[in-house]
């Protein structure tokens, strides 16, 4: 394409589906981390492991991994590279906002107001990661932004993330957690592809960049593979933590039962003593 031409907006359907699958996987493990936070939080103290898992699962896998697969899903007539420093910053932004949202909601009794603040933080994390990641793009083109669609992408991210976090801290079974994960994935993907529609790609002359870049046609598949491995490792860790929690709970119940005073023979517990 020649300089000044606008690249039509279109996507590779298979990679779009792959990006959604990664968002679901990351969000599902994040929902499990939220269940762990809810179960084991005592006196405002949260195990840091659950916060880290929630941050990496939602921010690193669900948001960051989905973004770079989604970027490769957009059909562009040239290869795109990504500046390494901004790409790493986008990961820290996504994981940082997500981790803070889990910490803030889980450290005290759950309320709608706390969920709204946490959901806003998670939504801002999705949006910030997206646009920082977009600024890392190195290609023979520039982006012209539509402000109204950018604002719409922010609204989608915040509303859907708040709803997903509400479900995360109020689900009771696997089916509900999976539903919350799908909703969070819709928030991430909805924001991403709305944000992609907000930027019109206008071709320019070829440019030389001196900074270190990553990219290539294998990037989405590498991101998918790393996301799956990371998700499985975190899921395994959460299962171990859940078993330890159930074992400790059973021990506490047994100790309470053993330490309870036994009723005297021939008399029901709580009955008044006889004369004499």
In a domain, 250, yes or no: yes
Task: Give the phi and the psi of residue 141 in degrees, each rounded to 5.
Answer: -165, 165
Domain hosting 94: range is 13-256
Residue 46: CA count within 13 A, CB half-sphere: 24
pLDDT digits (tens, 9 = 90+) for 149-200: 999 988 988 888 888 888 878 877 778 888 888 888 888 898 889 988 999 9
In a domain, 248, yes or no: yes
Q: Are 129 and 65 in contact (CB under 8 A)?
A: no
Q: How far apart are CA 197 and CA 87, in angstroms?
A: 21
Q: What is the pLDDT of residues 199-233, one digit of tens each?
A: 999 998 877 766 666 666 666 666 667 667 776 76
- Establish if 231 belongs to a structural domain: yes
- 267 occurs within a structural domain: no
Main-chain phi, psi angles of 95, to 5 degrees: -70, -40
Place of tokens 């040239």: 78
> What is the SS3 assignment for 66-94?
HHHHHHHHECCCCCCEEEHHHHHHHHHHH
Tokens 């719409």 sit on residue: 152
Look at residue 43 and tell me if it is in a domain. Answer: yes
Domain count across the chain:
1
Domain contains 8: no
Please state, rounded to an integer, the average pLDDT across all residues of the chain: 80
Domain for residue 244, yes or no?
yes
Asked if residue 108 is part of any domain, the answer here is yes
The pLDDT, as a whole number, for residue 165 is 84
């Amino acid at each position: 394409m020649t300089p000044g031409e606008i690249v039509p907006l279109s996507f590779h359907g298979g990679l779009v589906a792959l990006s959604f699958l990664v968002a679901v996987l990351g969000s599902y493990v994040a929902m499990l981390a939220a269940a762990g936070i809810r179960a084991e939080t005592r006196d405002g103290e949260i195990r840091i492991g659950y916060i880290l898992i929630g941050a990496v699962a939602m921010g690193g896998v669900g948001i960051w991994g989905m973004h770079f697969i989604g970027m490769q899903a957009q059909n562009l007539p040239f290869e795109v590279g990504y500046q390494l420093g901004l790409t790493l910053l986008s990961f820290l932004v996504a994981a940082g906002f997500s981790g803070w949202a889990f910490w803030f909601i889980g450290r005290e009794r759950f309320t709608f107001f706390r969920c709204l603040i946490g959901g806003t933080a998670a939504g801002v994390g999705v949006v910030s990661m997206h646009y920082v990641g977009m600024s890392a793009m190195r290609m023979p083109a520039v982006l012209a932004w539509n402000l109204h669609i950018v604002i719409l992408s922010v609204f989608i991210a915040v509303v859907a993330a708040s709803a997903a976090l509400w479900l995360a801290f109020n689900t009771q079974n696997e089916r509900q957690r999976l539903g919350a994960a799908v909703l969070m994935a819709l928030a991430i993907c909805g924001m991403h592809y709305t944000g992609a529609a907000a930027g019109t790609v206008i071709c320019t002359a070829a440019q030389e960049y001196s900074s270190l870049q990553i990219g290539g046609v294998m990037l989405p598949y590498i991101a998918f593979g790393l996301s799956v491995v990371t998700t499985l490792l975190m899921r395994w860790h959460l299962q171990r933590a859940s078993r330890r929690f159930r074992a400790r709970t059973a021990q506490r119940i047994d100790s309470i039962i053993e330490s309870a005073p036994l009723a005297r023979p021939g008399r029901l517990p709580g009955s008044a003593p006889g004369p004499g």
